[in-house]
Amino acid sequence: MPPDPPPAALRLEIDGDALAANWRGLDALSGEARAGAAVKANAYGLGARRVVERLANEGCRDFFVAHWGEAGDLLGVVEPASIAVLHGPMTDRDCAYARATGVRPVINSLAQARRWTAAGGGACDLMIDTGMNRLGLAASEIGDEAVGALDIEVLHSHLASADEDVPLNDLQQRRWAQARVHVPHRRAALANSAGIVLGERFHGELTRPGIALYGGVPCVALSGAIRQVARPAAAVIQVREIEAGEGVGYNTVFVAPRAMRIGTIAVGYADGYLRCWSNRGEMRSRDGTVPVIGRVSMDMTIVDLSDAPTVGEGDWLEIAYNLPRAAASSGLSQYELLTLLGSRFAR
Considering the domain boundaries, does residue 1 fall inside one? Answer: no
Nearest to 139 by CA among 128, 150, 149: 128
Q: Running DSSP on this structure, what letter comes out for residue 254? A: E
> How far apart, in whole angstroms, are the C-alpha atoms of residue 152 and residue 126?
6
pLDDT in tens, 133-180: 999 999 999 999 999 999 999 999 999 999 999 999 999 999 999 999
Residue 40 bears catalytic tag: yes
Residue 245 has a pLDDT of 98
Average pLDDT for residues 311-316, to the nearest whole number? 97
pLDDT given for residue 55 in this prediction:
98
CA pair distance 63, 169, nearest whole angstrom: 24
Averaged pLDDT for residues 71-90: 97
Residue-wise DSSP of 179-214: HHHHS--SEEE---HHHHTT-GGGTTTEE---GGGG
pLDDT for residue 268: 98
Of 40, 44, 269, 335, catalytic: 40
Q: Any bridge partners for residue 152, and if so which?
A: 124
Encode pLDDT of 93-107 as tens digits.
999 999 999 999 999
Question: Is residue 188 located within the same domain as residue 242?
Answer: no
Residue 21's pLDDT is: 98
DSSP state of 73: H
Predicted pLDDT of residue 106: 98
Same structural domain, 126 and 235: no
Active site includes 269? no
As a whole number of angstroms, the distance between CA 173 and CA 334 comes to 25
41: pLDDT strictly greater than 90: yes
Mean pLDDT of 230-247: 98
Beta bridge partners of 265: 236, 301
Compute the distance between CA of residue 336 and CA of residue 321 in angstroms, rounded to an integer.
12
Q: Domain end: 187, 215, 243, which one?
A: 215
Both 205 and 236 in one domain: the answer is no
Q: Evaluate whether residue 255 is within a structural domain.
A: yes
Residues 6+ apart with CB under 8 A from 127: 86, 88, 106, 107, 108, 135, 136, 137, 156, 157, 158
**Contact yes or no for 56/77 (Cβ under 8 A):** yes
Chain mean pLDDT for the chain? 97
Confidence of residue 7 (pLDDT cuts 50, 70, 90): confident
289 and 318 both lie in a single domain = yes
Question: Given 215, 241, 264, which residue is the final one in a domain?
Answer: 215
Provide the pLDDT for residue 36: 98
- pLDDT tens column, 288-308: 999 999 999 999 999 999 999
Residues 261, 208 share a domain:
no
Residues 247 and 185 in one domain: no
End residue of a domain, out of 164, 186, 215: 215
- pLDDT at residue 8, as a whole number: 86
Give pLDDT, residue 92.
Answer: 98
Annotated active-site residue in 44, 97, 214, 250: 250
Mean of pLDDT values over 211-219: 98
| Alpha carbons 83 and 91: distance in angstroms, whole number | 19
In this structure, the answer to whether residues 27 and 77 fall within a common structural domain is yes
Distances (CA, A) of 306 to 34, 145, 237, 256, 266: 51, 71, 16, 11, 19
244 and 141, same structural domain? no
Range of the domain at 63: 15-215
**9 assigned to some structural domain:** no
**Longest distance between any two alpha carbons in the chain, whole Å:** 77
Q: Is the pLDDT confidence value at 39 over 90?
A: yes
- Is 8 within the bounds of a domain? no
Going by pLDDT thresholds of 50, 70 and 90, the confidence category of residue 232 is very high
